[in-house]
């Protein structure tokens, strides 16, 4: 029998069907399309990930907000300085951002693009400001040997060059995550979850389209007259127009179809296996959370909850994701900024004030307090404090012991 594509007019009456010599015929249709992936640049990942995917959005916000809330400390030798111009600069980097908002933007750039660029603007007489450069507008400039020496920043058709590393005259700092194939740019976690990200977004779009169609898939309109024959051209065109104008779109979903003689509607249903896209969507969400280092339990994703309770998952989130990110950022900022304010300075963070780690800190203090064989000064050193009467750096002893 002749095969017609949807809505293609039937062949003319005088056309003669080709006859094959073989007694049986077999037609196989194999349609395979190439998957379409989100662009791997900063704009594509930001739009499809942070701006359109709730899992990626929440994961970036959780990490950036938790890391930005970490208090800063400045040490001179072993003494903790309560007030210092470097602390004032981090507390108010520029006139448009406070310290928490500035650091949140830094961590957001790192998580979405793998790179964060900070420029120091020196106004003279101790007036300094820190500004962020959008990653998609920055190109790393190298010397003849291939070493990065400056940043080229493009904005509104103009380009300006900022020296790297030299903060004395208002240079720039390039923060980047590890990239196995590129020595000049970092690798974003969101790109590692790109397949899961596109799967999750595609499942959401498919579900929305299905709901717009009254939560039912398409069907087939079958014409099988009892006496045989085909639709005339006029009947065919009229039927096509009626279906497109009267039964297409979300506003007309569920409208009953009035059929004439010889017409029958066959619904194409979905099997339970076909409806298992929800589990595929949850699996994609878990992969996105895994790439960022956020326990799925904290994002409300059902499935394999590895941790026994929410508190344990929250501690793992801080221990394995937030603290390492803040630690490497603190070291980079310290090496870049402290030479401006004198030698012997060191920038660090105060993990003792992290609410998510109070359980570990209380348990450490209880164990040390119960150790009767330790002196008072030894107990103070075990929890990160110096001897009584001597100013020592405040640090989280549990984190220091784990990383040592």
pLDDT at 189: 92
Cβ pair 76, 345 in contact under 8 A: yes
| Separation in Å, CA 303 to CA 57, 201, 283, 300 | 20, 19, 8, 10
Residue 75's contacts (CB-CB under 8 Å, 6 or more residues apart) are 81, 345, 346, 348, 393
Q: Given a cut of 70, is residue 46 above it in pLDDT? A: yes
pTM score above 0.85: no
Q: Give the DSSP letter of residue 239.
A: H
Lowest mean pLDDT among 25-29, 49-53, 163-167: 25-29
Cβ pair 90, 100 in contact under 8 A: no
Cβ pair 42, 136 in contact under 8 A: yes
Q: Given a cut of 80, is residue 274 above it in pLDDT? A: no
Lowest mean pLDDT among 238-252, 275-289, 340-354, 373-387: 238-252
Nearest-angstrom CA–CA distance, 326 and 228: 77
Cβ pair 115, 186 in contact under 8 A: yes
pLDDT at 32: 46
More confident residue, 260 or 396: 260
Question: pLDDT grade, residue 367 (50/70/90)?
Answer: confident
pLDDT at 214: 59
Nearest-angstrom CA–CA distance, 345 and 80: 10
Cα four-point dihedral sign 382, 385, 390, 391: positive
- Quote the tokens at residue 167: 């903060």
Neighbouring CB atoms inside 10 A of 246's CB total: 12
pLDDT at 179: 93
- Quote the tokens at residue 255: 């409208």
Question: pLDDT grade, residue 399 (50/70/90)?
Answer: very low
More confident residue, 156 or 63: 63
Cβ pair 270, 217 in contact under 8 A: yes
pLDDT at 264: 65
């Amino acid at each position: 029998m002749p095969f017609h594509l949807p809505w293609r007019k039937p062949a003319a009456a005088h056309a003669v069907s080709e006859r094959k010599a073989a007694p049986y015929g077999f037609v196989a249709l194999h349609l395979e399309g190439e998957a379409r992936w989100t662009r791997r640049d900063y704009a594509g990942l930001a739009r499809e990930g942070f701006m359109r995917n709730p899992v990626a959005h929440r994961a970036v916000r959780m990490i950036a907000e938790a890391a930005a809330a970490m208090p800063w400390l400045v040490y001179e030798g072993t003494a903790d300085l309560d007030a210092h111009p470097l602390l004032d600069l981090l507390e108010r980097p520029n006139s448009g951002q406070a310290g928490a908002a500035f650091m949140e933007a830094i961590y957001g750039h790192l998580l979405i693009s793998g790179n964060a660029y900070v420029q120091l603007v020196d106004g003279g007489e101790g007036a300094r400001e820190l500004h962020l450069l959008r990653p998609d507008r920055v190109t790393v400039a190298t010397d003849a040997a291939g070493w990065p020496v400056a940043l080229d920043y493009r904005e509104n058709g103009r380009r300006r060059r900022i020296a790297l590393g030299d903060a004395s005259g208002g240079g720039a700092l390039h923060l980047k995550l590890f990239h196995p194939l590129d020595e000049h740019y970092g690798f974003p976690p969101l790109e590692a979850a790109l397949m899961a990200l596109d799967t999750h977004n595609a499942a959401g779009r498919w579900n929305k389209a299905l709901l717009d169609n009254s939560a039912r898939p398409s069907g087939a309109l079958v014409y099988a007259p009892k006496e045989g024959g085909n639709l005339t051209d006029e009947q065919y065109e009229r039927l096509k127009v009626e279906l497109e104008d009267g039964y297409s779109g979300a506003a007309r979903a569920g409208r009953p179809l009035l059929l004439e003689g010889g017409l029958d509607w066959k619904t194409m249903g979905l099997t339970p296996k076909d409806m298992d896209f929800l589990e595929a969507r949850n699996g994609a969400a878990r992969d996105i959370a895994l790439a960022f280092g956020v326990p799925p339990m904290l994002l409300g994703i059902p499935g394999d909850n590895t941790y026994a309770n929410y508190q344990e998952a929250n501690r793992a989130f801080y221990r394995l994701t937030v603290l390492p990110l803040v630690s490497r950022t603190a070291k980079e900022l310290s090496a870049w900024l402290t030479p401006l304010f004198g030698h012997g300075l060191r920038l660090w963070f105060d993990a003792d004030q992290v609410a998510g780690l109070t359980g570990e800190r209380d348990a450490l203090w209880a164990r040390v307090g119960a150790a009767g064989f330790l002196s008072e000064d030894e107990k103070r050193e075990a929890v990160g404090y110096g001897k009584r009467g001597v100013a020592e750096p405040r640090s989280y002893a549990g984190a220091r012991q784990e990383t040592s």
